[in-house]
Structure 1
Amino acid sequence: MQRVNRISIAAGLVCFCLLIGCKASTTTDEPTSESSEKPKVALIMKSLANEFFSTMAKGAETHHQQSGQYELVVNGIKDERDVSRQVALVQEMVASDVDVIVIAPADSQALIPSLRRAIKAGIIVVNIDNKLDAEMLRKEGLQIPFVGPDNRAGAKQVGDYLATHLAEGDSVAILEGLQTSENGRARKAGFEEAMNEAGVKIVDSQSAEWEMAKANEIASSMLSEHTEIKAILAANDSMALGAVAAAKSVGRSDDLSIVGFDNIAAVRTAIRDGKVLATADQYGDQLAVYGIETGLKLIADENAEVADVETPVDLITKETLDAK
């Protein structure tokens, strides 16, 4: 592609300048004559109100400052469910003539048409966090690498650990993410697999759409309707914190086990305080970095294989936190 060749030549010029002592700025608002030599990367995330994504943005900005080899534009939406705004952001980045879009899609299918247009415009697209629908990508004839963890395996680790604190026949409930998001479905499947293997009954499972307030409301209802519930498995940490608030409101703080997924700071505190049992760490501060590095590699070599990259996901408990 001509676009990629121009970027490769420009990247070579930047390296030559650095070798002879030229100093390049790492800021995104540097002069056009200098910044035009660098690839321009757009990071498009979900809700920046969610600590996980604000951590992701900070990690990307730190990497950008340390690298100095590309420009970075960071975007996010206010609401996890605002798919139309995320579609508009993709269109804005295409119009801005970026070279790479690294996206954590709010919906696994709805973003694909706009991303197809971005690819046709010569932009490299990298998918992080929430995997785009594989069947729809095949139908569209698109190859978009997914850079992220195995969400099902991560959720199963959390579920397996929870099972060691339960007895066969105990009852639990699940707070699901958005049902149109692949990572939400994968985490639910991992939780279900762990509970089924342990002989634990799932008596209720509802979507709280990744939101803390909605999780509080739904978990309160679950605990009132099913007083036998011994644990709540939340597909992200925001919902786990909502479940913590619900448990407190119905007087179940001491005998209800709650697990989450993401390892945000507030949940680490809750784990140390005994309010949350466990979570999964998918290294949110590095997740966008992994995607950016993949995009830069594809720019550097237009013949590089477009392949998925599995990133780490680890179980976090009080024991693992105390060991650090």
Structure 2
Amino acid sequence: MSATPRRGFLFGTGALGATALLTGCLANDPPQRQNPSAVAAGGDNAAPGTQVTIGFSAPAADHGWMAAMTTNARAQAEGLPDVTFRATEGSSDVNQQIAQVETLINEQVDVLVILPADGKALTDVARRATRAGIPVVNVDRVFDSSDAYRVWIGGDNHGMGVNAADHIAAELERRGVTDPVIAEIAGTDSLPLTQERSAGFREGLQRHGLRVARRVAADFTAESGERQATNLLQAAAHLDAVWNHDDDQGIGVLAAVEAAGREEFFLVGGAGSRDMMDRIKAGGSVVQATVLYNPSMCSSAIALARLLVQARGMSDLAEHEVPRSITTYSAVVTRENVDQYLDVGFAS
């Protein structure tokens, strides 16, 4: 989330309202009540405020997307002169992450930004932080209870699947393909996020009279992506379109595709890695698009944490406070718009 102030619209609206009020009174018309939303904006978010110490905890950076989450958080904090950033060492061990958050609580940081390895398992320690007067920004993997966080920011997994389906349906129609064979390479099936992505994809296709003909599930790694894509390609003599949930596992998926010499279908990725965007821009690959699940949400989480402590709202919104939840949008990146999104592509 950019810290650049954009108050002109709200200021202009307020000035216009004041002028209209004055004109109405001079004309002996009934007074017009000023629109209260025009005076309730959060102010200049870019202006330095009270010094804030932000504690940050996330899982180990064991693949590109997760590494980008931590990198983005750190970069955002370093760009804010009134923020001190205190990050724990990333760990995917739930008990270790709990212990690290407890340390940050004991150090009495002003606010916590937590991307939990497991939302359910980290709920209790986040609730303890909240009860100790430390607001919590919950990133992506949601805690089990809303009283464990002040604000949640994360991606739209269901919407990601819907947008992938809509793009695939439109492209198949453009190509004049009837009765297509559509495949899905999911992430880890036991995770709610994978289930939501698959549900969105299935429902999106159904709206177009289409369905998933072949489905395999990988584990968000290049190795599992290559293994499962190999199985898929061996089982399906022909495919028209493939949606791969994750661009990190997509590295392995593409290795399997190239090894098999298959190019009769087009592939839509997921998350928005720079590698996939480069392939989309260059053309000549089965990769035609990727649906964003952008790690820039972690940059925004740091910005939100700062505003919470400084008791500010968001300058482009009328509310005095930071909203309760923010869901990012899963834009579809294609060759036509890829230049617009290259700056948020992450390294796989």
Q: What's the TM-score bracket when you normalise by the shorter of the two chains?
A: 0.7 to 0.9
Match for residue 170 of structure 1 among 163, 174, 180: 180
Q: Which residue matches 2:299?
A: 289
| Residues 78 and 319 of structure 1, relative CA distance in 2, 3 Å threshold | farther
TM-score, normalised to structure 2's length? Answer: 0.70
Identity %: 22
Aligned residues: 283
CA distance in 2 between counterparts of 1:85 and 1:230 reads 45
**RMSD over equivalenced CA pairs, Å:** 3.1
Instruction: State the Cα distance separating 1:41 from its structure 2 match.
Output: 1.1
Q: What secondary structure does 1:118 align onto?
A: helix
After TM superposition, give the deviation of residue 47 of structure 1 in Å. 4.1
Counterpart residue identity of residue 134, structure 2: I
The correspondence for 2:230, drawn from 195, 208, 220, is 220
How far apart are 1:244 and its partner, in Å?
1.0
SS at match of 1:209: coil
SS at match of 2:133: coil
How much has 1:91 moved relative to structure 2?
3.1
Residue in structure 1 matched with residue 23 of structure 2 by the alignment: none
Task: Using CA pairs under 8 Å that are at least 6 residues apart, name the structure with larger relative contact order, 1 or 2.
Answer: 2
1:223-259 alpha-carbon deviations (Å, 9 max, x no partner):
212333333312221122221112122221x223222
**Aligned partners of 2:56 and 2:84: how far apart in 1?**
11
Is it true that 1:244 corresponds to 2:261 in the alignment? no
Please name the residue that 1:198 is paired with. Answer: 208
**CA positional deviation for 1:180:** 4.8
Structure 1: gaps of 5 or more residues: 1-17, 20-36
In the other structure, the counterpart of 1:9 is none
Q: Which residue of 2 aligns with 1:318?
A: 335
In structure 1, what is the equivalent of residue 277 of structure 2? 268
Partner Cα distance (1:312, 1:62) in 2 = 22
Q: Shift in Å at residue 84 of structure 1? A: 4.2
Larger Rg over CA atoms: 2
Q: Judging changes above 3 Å, is the alpha-carbon distance between structure 1 residues 322 and 58 closer, same or farther for their aligned structure 2 residues?
A: closer
- Other structure's SS at 1:174 match: strand
Name the amino acid aligned to 2:145: L
2:56 pairs, out of 18, 43, 55, with 43
Between 1:141-150 and 1:67-76, the stretch displaced more is 141-150
Distance 1:200 1:106, change over 3 A: farther
Residue matched to 1:53: 66
Task: Tell me whether 1:231 sits opposite 2:241 in the alignment.
Answer: yes
1:146 aligns with 2:152: yes
One-letter code aligned to 1:163: A
Structure 1 residue 307 displacement after superposition: 0.7
Letter in 2 for 1:308: S
Tell me, which stretches of 5 or more residues in structure 2 are unaligned?
A: 1-47, 313-319, 342-348
- Asked if structure 2 preserves the Cα contact closer than 8 Å seen for 1:239 and 1:260, the reply is no
C-alpha spacing 1:321/1:89, structure 2 compared with 1 (3 Å):
same
Q: Residue in 1 aligned with 2:111? A: 100
- Output one character per residue of 1:165-187: Cα deviation in whole Å (capped at 9) or x when no partner: 33343222322233454433322
Correspondence for 1:11: none
Runs of 4+ in 1 over 6 A off after TM superposition: none
Aligned counterpart, 2:77:
64
- Contact 1:247/1:256 (CA < 8 Å) preserved in 2? no
Instruction: Show the counterpart of 2:166.
Output: 160
User: Does the 8 A contact of 1:108 with 1:180 survive in 2?
Assistant: no
Q: TM-score, normalised by structure 1?
A: 0.75
Structure 1 322/41 Cα, relative in aligned 2: closer, same or farther at 3 Å? Answer: closer
User: For residue 227 of structure 1, what is the amino acid of its counterpart?
Assistant: A
Correspondence for 1:129: 140
Residue in structure 2 matched with residue 113 of structure 1 by the alignment = 124
Give the match for residue 13 of structure 2.
none
Q: 1:151 to 1:251 in 2, by over 3 A?
A: same
Q: Is the 8 A contact 1:240 1:259 kept in 2?
A: no
> Separation in 2 of the partners of 1:180 and 1:148?
19
The 3-state SS of whatever aligns with 2:62 is coil
